[in-house]
Structure 1
């Protein structure tokens, strides 16, 4: 029995992203795959044409994220295709615009790190000195610069200015990050892309987009997980019959499907509204992440149960998808983080 989850953002872009992800998974070369994604212009997808971008909408980004989520390739689409360009577009400075044009032209490749605990000392020439730990820098894929949100500053730090990693970490989903200890790192004034309230506002806008893009990835991954579960139950035989004939297992799959349909319809509608209005409400984003965190964890646990011990193996796509769902629940803020935001977040939308 074959089953395909309903697509949130159907179209050529979704189909192309799905084929790309399948080829990437088969080849097993994420670094080369990311270079192909850059060549296809995905980091410039949301940037308006006047600044060298593709002029796409949130629905276009959703199609790319959904297509790639159908196969657990683990490319940094949220950080590099959503958060990075959003930071630069919202910063509204000449330096940010120049960096954005370079990003769209493929001249720079940006990672993004939120570092509110960094100690930043202003220098007389307009530059800054950085001390502290830069946590969570990508350790798997190459990049040329890191966009650092450090309190009321937005900084562009060249990769070759960073010290060697002091600690490396590998998540259960295979994501690799590293910490860099900065001791008196000097940056020129040109590396400061924005200061003050404008920098803080840009960081908040980009964070909202990153959170929402993560919910899109979670929903799409849940859909792919259901496909794997149905395929496994339809072919796996126990006691002489297929597992799909056991009613309790069928009910578990139906519960997963209802969760997916509820999430996908909600997110697709919110994306459509955002495309029309040009606004993404921060409170809606927090509610979506809170809701998807619960569905993702429930779906991952159900998938592991339905596959038995095989659901924990790295060889099966279902096992990799389940790990991605569990990790996504913590990415861009877990349940407690979203509850704290909802307690203080106004209902008004940000531009």
Structure 2
């Protein structure tokens, strides 16, 4: 498999990187986080649509670019470098991929086309209270009601669930797991503040009626959900890789400027060794990130292994980098005024989203046994 980027992919990554540096700095993240509203700006989301970033993985028939997850991963990497708050991971990946993989052409046109233009956003409501990460761990129910369905249950910590125009809900029907596209205004939503400054929602389904044509049934729902969560995990790794790079650079800059005992602390050999350890972990993360985004579209055993290996490195290596960055900054690193603390918190959130370390270690072992 060729892991080299082509010219178009390099240009895409540079365009997103330039956007982050010029138009969406960490200071913008702070302002949006502290302001009233969804925690991101609709005008910027629409601009992302105009730039074509929201269309990347979707078919040309619905206004998409027809690309792969490699391009999606490159975008997420660059967005992570400056903490761009718009819900690219939550909407394009977690919300969009169920419709891409499990929806009919008509459903893709109906639900993806407006999001591609930046007019709407999406969310995936899968996780539930007191349940872990397995795709089949769903207690919410879908009961047949004439030609449609009635949904009951509660979904926890839904990324972008507080603002999404359409929410893809996983619920158990009499014929097995189902995925249903529910209008955001049809459910009861409790907006939650997350540790990383983003917002999410608890979503309550209390007799929510859904028309028959809102069920995504082009493929078996559990098969689709496994692939969606793998794409989500790969997206977490991509964004986390961007975070790790920024934390390494920020820490090196700090070591070169901070003085103690009359000298730059970067001259202390012990701190140089710790910086090298951070660099090594970032390079390891780069390797597994590259393989994960290149393989995840395959949807096979090899892809699942690559994703779980990458998520494990994010949990171990990514968190090592973030913790060392805090340590080397000293007490200032944990204050809200210090940028490094914002990156640390976002890394912590990404490590648990779409499967934590324990889940992916266990799954990797099970996949190896099954081979």
State TM-score, norm by structure 2: 0.82
Name the SS of the counterpart of 2:216 in structure 1.
strand
Match of residue 183, structure 1, among 206, 210, 218: 206
Residue of structure 1 in register with 2:329 after alignment: 307
Residue of structure 2 in register with 1:160 after alignment: 185
C-alpha spacing 1:327/1:271, structure 2 compared with 1 (3 Å): closer
Kept in 1: contact 2:309–2:364 (CA 8 A) = yes
CA distance in 2, matches of 1:242, 1:333: 41
CA distance in 2, matches of 1:348, 1:77: 34
CA distance in 2, matches of 1:270, 1:185: 37
C-alpha spacing 1:35/1:170, structure 2 compared with 1 (3 Å): same
Give how far 1:58 is off. Answer: 2.2
Kept in 2: contact 1:304–1:312 (CA 8 A) = yes
Name the SS of the counterpart of 1:11 in structure 2.
helix
List per-residue Cα deviations over 1:131-183 (Å, max 9, x = no partner).
12132234687321111122411111111212242xx4322211211213222
Deviates more, 1:219-228 or 1:108-117: 108-117
Mapping of residues 87-126 of structure 1, within 5 Å: 87-98=98-109, 99-115=111-127, 116-125=138-147
Q: Are 1:149 and 2:174 counterparts?
A: no
Q: Are 1:207 and 2:232 counterparts?
A: no
List per-residue Cα deviations over 1:250-285 (Å, max 9, x = no partner).
11010000111122133224544668x786611221
Match of residue 150, structure 2, among 129, 150, 153: 129
Residue of structure 1 in register with 2:289 after alignment: 267
Kept in 2: contact 1:72–1:317 (CA 8 A) = no
CA distance in 1, matches of 2:118, 2:245: 32
Match of residue 52, structure 2, among 18, 21, 41: 41
C-alpha spacing 1:264/1:102, structure 2 compared with 1 (3 Å): same
Residue of structure 1 in register with 2:217 after alignment: 194
- For structure 1, which runs of at least 5 residues remain unmatched after alignment? 1-6
Which structure 1 residue ranges, 4+ long, deviate > 4 Å from structure 2?
7-10, 138-141, 272-275, 277-280, 346-349
CA distance in 1, matches of 2:54, 2:164: 13
Kept in 1: contact 2:74–2:238 (CA 8 A) = no
Q: Are 1:60 and 2:83 counterparts?
A: no
Kept in 1: contact 2:45–2:118 (CA 8 A) = no
C-alpha spacing 1:109/1:348, structure 2 compared with 1 (3 Å): farther
CA distance in 2, matches of 1:92, 1:77: 20
State TM-score, norm by structure 1: 0.87
Match of residue 337, structure 1, among 359, 363, 371: 359
Give how far 1:20 is off. Answer: 2.2
Name the SS of the counterpart of 2:336 in structure 1.
coil
C-alpha spacing 1:140/1:123, structure 2 compared with 1 (3 Å): closer
CA distance in 1, matches of 2:58, 2:239: 20
CA distance in 2, matches of 1:19, 1:267: 21
List per-residue Cα deviations over 1:208-259 (Å, max 9, x = no partner).
1111111111122111100000011111111111111111111101000011
Provide the aligned C-alpha RMSD in A. 2.7
Mapping of residues 163-174 of structure 1, within 5 Å: 163-165=188-190, 168-174=191-197
Q: Are 1:223 and 2:245 counterparts?
A: yes
Residue of structure 1 in register with 2:24 after alignment: 24
C-alpha spacing 1:164/1:101, structure 2 compared with 1 (3 Å): closer
Kept in 2: contact 1:157–1:187 (CA 8 A) = yes
Give how far 1:94 is off. Answer: 4.3
Residue of structure 2 in register with 1:3 after alignment: none
Deviates more, 1:19-28 or 1:235-244: 19-28
